[in-house]
Amino acid sequence: MTSTPAASATAPPLSSPMPVPYRRYALGLLVAIYTVNFLDRQIVTILIPDIKRDLNLSDSEVGAMAGLWFAILYTTLGIPIARWADRGDRPFIMTASLAVWSGFTVLAGFAQNFLMLAISRAGVGVGEAGCTPTAHSLLTDYFPKESRARALAIYSMGISIGSLLGMALGGIIAANWGWRTAFFVAGAPGLILAVVSAMTLLEPRRGSNLIAAQAAARAAATIPTKVALKVLSKKPTFWFFALGAAFAATVSYSHSFFLAGYFLYTQPQGLADAAAFYGIGGNNAGTSYLGLGLGFSAGIGGVIGSWIGGWWCDKYGAKDLRQFATLPLIFPFIGLPAFWYVAQMDDMVLAMILMIIPNIGVAIWYGPVYGGVPGLVPPAMRATAAAILLFVVNMIGLGAGPTLFGIASDAFANWHHTQAGTGLDVATCKSVAPDAPQFATCFANQVEGLRNTIYWSTSIHILSWIAFALTILTIRKDMES
């Protein structure tokens, strides 16, 4: 094992100093916070068709608003906040971050144009930048090594639960009271949890019985980011994990922002029939059903995938570290064919059930990646490593993914206009009134562009598969603890 400056400064504690009941409570609270994190982040996905119509946005603008504007501040602030978390008061960082992103979620409901909405989403990114690196750092102090992957995988279930609630509540609220009300409702729980976090979340470094963690905090203050990057430069497994997760997230984030619109545009009758089948009424029952359907498929599939990934790594990864790559390598061959089939179905009841399968694959890598990365670095660098990981994953997956998806969708739509000789394009279609003769042509080509992009974007999983496969060659050498 190669020594590093940080490794010589401190050694990880042999076991967690926190009582088991408090560990469970803290994990539950952090899952709740992460759930709100993703509720506030993902609620926009089901609201995009209404926002797009009311604010007259193109797919390129939607992708930039949902992806790039959010990701720039979210990712760039993540590393300095993580450096702070490596030596500072992590419960305070978590509480402040939670209050900030919840407040900006509420402000999104007041947006009157693209710029106002984009700034509000960037503000959500500012707050959320302090969430996951801080939580990862806390959980690796709360839990001993032998249960770390499972704890981090359980924490990652907040992604699935938050996505479920965001899409389900967002769809119902938007259908009956409007998309602005959905943002107001989404921001409220985070403000309440911020108070709970401030009062009950403990900082392990304050405990006199956690000498090793205190030493790690002191060491972190002397480890510049350049040194941390130098340590990680000698860990190819870290970069393979990061790129594998980033390319997988490119597809899942892009689809999360555009799939609701795709189904609403292509299957209005199927959604209405599904809503009637379940007895869902009210205004725009199809939208309410779609939010519930996408939310539950994402939530159920995500929880299953998170749990299986963490369980597999704790059980089999302890015996052979190469097992961290097994599930991310296998599942694309199961999830992608299921997704391709769903994307051309008109039975929206069965479609939402089958969507559970690809959503398991969306979360299957959380346990291997989030559970494996902390073991690749010394304790003093864990929050920084998590932040750098999230920087790569979110800048590529969340920032570039939806943005390029929106650009590609508009490009395909323009191609269809050219092939049909309509004399129109996406830019001119924005000024076409709904009652104009050209509107149907604009809409049809927009939908075809979106359809093309949804199918072709899944090819990015090839890059993810290659990156995860490469970890098999390096993980046994790179793992420290």
**Average pLDDT rounded to a whole number, residues 75-81:** 77
Q: How confident is the model over 211-218, as a mean pLDDT? A: 49
What percentage of the chain carries pLDDT values higher than 90? 44
Mention every residue, 6+ apart, whose C-beta is less than 8 A from residue 45: 66, 166, 167, 170, 256, 257, 259, 260, 294
108 or 69, which is more confident?
A: 108
Q: Output 334 or 7, whichever has higher pLDDT.
A: 334
> What does the domain layout of the chain look like in residue ranges?
17-478
DSSP structural state of residue 410:
H
Spatial neighbors of 213 by CB under 8 A, at least 6 apart, are 13, 17, 141, 204, 205, 207, 379
Q: What is the pLDDT of residues 401-428, one digit of tens each?
A: 999 999 999 999 999 999 999 999 999 9
pLDDT tens profile 31-50: 999 999 988 888 888 888 88
**Distance (Å, rounded) from C-alpha 272 to C-alpha 285?**
6
Closest by alpha carbon to 160, among 434, 355, 439, 4? Answer: 355
Place of tokens 């409702």: 185
**Most confidently modeled range among 65-79, 171-185, 367-381, 447-461:** 447-461
Kindly indicate the confidence band of residue 84, based on its pLDDT and cuts at 50, 70 and 90: confident
Per mean pLDDT, which range of 5-14, 303-312, 381-390 is the poorest?
Answer: 5-14
pLDDT at position 227: 80
* pLDDT value for 14: 40
What local confidence, expressed as pLDDT, does residue 481 receive? 67
Q: Of the ranges 73-82, 183-192, 266-275, which one carries the lowest mean pLDDT score?
A: 73-82
Which residues have CB under 8 Å from 40's CB, separation 6+? 101, 102, 105, 124, 128, 162, 166, 186, 187, 190
Average pLDDT, the chain: 86
- Among the ranges given (163-172, 417-426, 449-458), the one the predictor scored with the smallest mean pLDDT: 163-172
**Cα→Cα distances 311→270, 304, 365, Å:** 37, 10, 12
pLDDT of amino acid 12:
42
Res. 105: pLDDT tops 70: yes
pLDDT at 8 over 50: no
- Across the range 159-176, mean pLDDT stands at 85
Residue corresponding to tokens 């119902």: 172
Find the helix or strand (DSSP H, E) in which 184 lies: helix 179-200
433: left (phi over 0), alpha (psi -120 to 50) or beta: beta
Task: Please give the pLDDT value at position 13.
Answer: 42
For residue 261, the Cα-to-chain-centroid distance in whole angstroms is 19
In the predicted structure, residue 365 carries a pLDDT above the cut 80: yes
Tens digit of each residue's pLDDT (9 = 90 or more) over 258-307: 999 999 999 999 999 999 999 988 778 998 999 899 988 988 998 899 88
Is the predicted pLDDT of residue 216 greater than 60, yes or no?
no
What is the average per-residue pLDDT within 426-447? 91
Distance CA 187, CA 308 (A): 31
Q: 15 pLDDT band (50/70/90 cuts)?
A: very low
- The answer to whether the CB of 38 falls within 8 A of the CB of 162 is yes
| Fold of the domain built from segment(s) 17-478 | Growth Hormone; Chain: A; (1.20.1250)
Position 327 confidence tier, pLDDT thresholds 50, 70, 90: very high
Cα of 199 vs its chain's centroid, Å: 27
